[in-house]
């Protein structure tokens, strides 16, 4: 295997072939949902292009001057740009650095590479600065953009990139990889984890962590208990306090989606591979109306927006609101924002 992960092998072979035939564009957009290895792919491909080994190896040799400089993080023909703080955007000043970087000729070979992570976080000023460079690319320049949400990029930026989606994989390949990992569970458990991660194998591994998986296991029963009054919203919030808010919201939304599928008789995600409905899910489908589930989905999306946009609201408060919202939606009673 040449690519960092087996599901990335087709894209790897296409880009390697394009490079060897001098058909590689000046800008690549490596796009797709988080958890499919886009960043590992981008770094591995950059390392291969900077490798100085003879014989066109399928991966970077790891021993030549180029590989040693790249591994040490100081290759003069590679520039890595990422948000300065986690959760922040790529800044316009970082993009402007590209002009000075590409103004210099390559030190060792014929290519200078810039890798821009989280490219979809750029504001309009940063995107416009990048667009100027994409419209008149310097000779030998290769700009690789990594984006979880390519639709957030300016259309004019996307149109000037060779787009390579990296999240289109055969679920059977993903399941085989998960089963081969250290500490893997049986196939039904790994299949359930893959469904929880919306098909993302790396995210499935993260959600399988011992401190996370048991809490997700308990979500469907807790939703049922709150909907029938057997569990108070504050008690539910305390029970799941160790679960990060992002994961809590996403998993509650996933369960609502799967309950709606059960209500309509549609197959659950990955049912073709043998996945069955988790315990308690059918009971929720039998007890709740679609309108109640849709009402909660809207409220949960609002909690996500509040979390992203507010610097004053605490996650613990948002989590409590979320459980009160679920109780109200399950009972068919709306909750006014002022009552939260």
Per-residue pLDDT of the chain (340 residues), as tens digits, is 689 999 999 999 999 999 999 899 899 999 999 999 999 999 999 999 999 998 888 899 999 999 999 999 999 999 999 998 877 889 999 999 999 999 999 999 889 999 999 999 999 999 999 999 999 888 889 999 999 999 999 999 999 999 999 999 999 999 999 999 999 999 999 999 999 999 999 999 999 999 999 999 999 999 999 999 999 999 999 999 999 999 999 999 999 999 999 999 999 999 999 999 988 899 999 999 999 999 999 999 999 888 877 667 899 999 999 999 999 999 875 444 444 4
Q: Are residues 161 and 22 in the same domain?
A: yes
Whether residue 300 is contained in a domain is answered as yes
Q: What is the rounded (10 degree) CA torsion for 245, 302, 153, 131?
A: -100
Q: How many residues does the chain have?
A: 340
Whether residue 187 is contained in a domain is answered as no
Helix axes 92-103, 124-135, angle to 10 degrees: 20
Give residue 201's Cα distance to chain centre.
10
Structural domain count of the chain: 2
Q: Are residues 297 and 216 in the same domain?
A: yes
Domain boundary among 109, 144, 165: 165
pTM of the full predicted structure? 0.88
Q: Are residues 13 and 132 in the same domain?
A: yes
Q: What is the rounded (10 degree) CA torsion for 224, 230, 235, 239?
A: -50
Q: Are residues 158 and 10 in the same domain?
A: yes
Q: Are residues 335 and 269 in the same domain?
A: yes
Rounded Cα gap, residues 267 and 41, in angstroms: 32
Q: Are residues 143 and 246 in the same domain?
A: no
Q: Are residues 146 and 258 in the same domain?
A: no
Backbone angles phi, psi at 188, to 5 degrees: -60, -40
CATH of the domain at 141: 3.40.50.300
| Alpha-helical runs (H) found in 181-244 | 187-196, 201-207, 213-217, 219-227, 233-239
Identify the bridge partners of residue 141 per DSSP, sorted by sequence position.
Answer: 112
Domain boundary among 131, 147, 165: 165
Q: Are residues 262 and 132 in the same domain?
A: no
Q: Are residues 127 and 218 in the same domain?
A: no
Range of the domain at 251: 209-339
């Amino acid at each position: 295997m040449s690519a960092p992960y087996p599901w990335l092998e087709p894209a790897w072979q296409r880009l390697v072939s394009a490079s060897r035939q001098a058909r590689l564009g000046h800008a690549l957009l490596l796009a797709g949902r988080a958890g499919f290895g886009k960043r590992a792919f981008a770094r591995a491909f950059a390392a291969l292009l900077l490798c100085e080994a003879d014989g066109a190896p399928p991966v970077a040799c790891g021993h030549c001057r180029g590989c040693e400089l790249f591994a040490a993080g100081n290759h003069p023909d590679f520039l890595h740009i990422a948000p300065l703080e986690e959760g922040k955007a790529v800044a316009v000043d970082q993009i402007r650095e590209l002009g000075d970087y590409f103004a210099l000729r390559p030190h060792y070979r014929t290519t200078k590479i810039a890798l821009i992570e989280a490219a979809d976080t750029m504001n309009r000023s940063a995107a416009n600065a990048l667009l100027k460079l994409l419209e008149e690319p310097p000779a030998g320049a290769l700009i690789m953009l990594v984006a979880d949400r390519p639709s957030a990029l300016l259309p004019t930026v996307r149109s000037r990139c060779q787009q390579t989606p990296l999240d289109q994989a055969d679920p059977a390949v993903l399941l085989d990889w998960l089963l081969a990992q250290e500490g893997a569970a049986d196939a039904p458990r790994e299949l359930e984890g893959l469904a929880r991660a919306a098909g993302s194998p790396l995210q499935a591994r993260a959600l399988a962590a011992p401190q996370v998986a048991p809490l997700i296991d308990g979500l469907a029963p807790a939703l049922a208990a709150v909907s029938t009054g057997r569990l108070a919203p504050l008690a539910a919030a305390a029970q799941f306090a160790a679960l990060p808010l992002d994961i809590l919201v996403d998993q509650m939304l996933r369960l609502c989606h799967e309950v709606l599928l059960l209500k309509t008789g549609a197959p659950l995600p990955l049912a073709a591979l043998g996945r069955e409905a988790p315990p308690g899910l059918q009971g929720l489908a039998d007890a709740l109306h679609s309108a109640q589930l849709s009402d909660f989905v809207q409220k949960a999306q609002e909690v996500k927006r509040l979390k992203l946009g507010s610097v004053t609201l605490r996650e613990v408060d948002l989590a409590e609101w979320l459980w009160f919202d679920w109780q109200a939606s399950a009972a068919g009673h709306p909750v006014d924002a002022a009552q939260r």
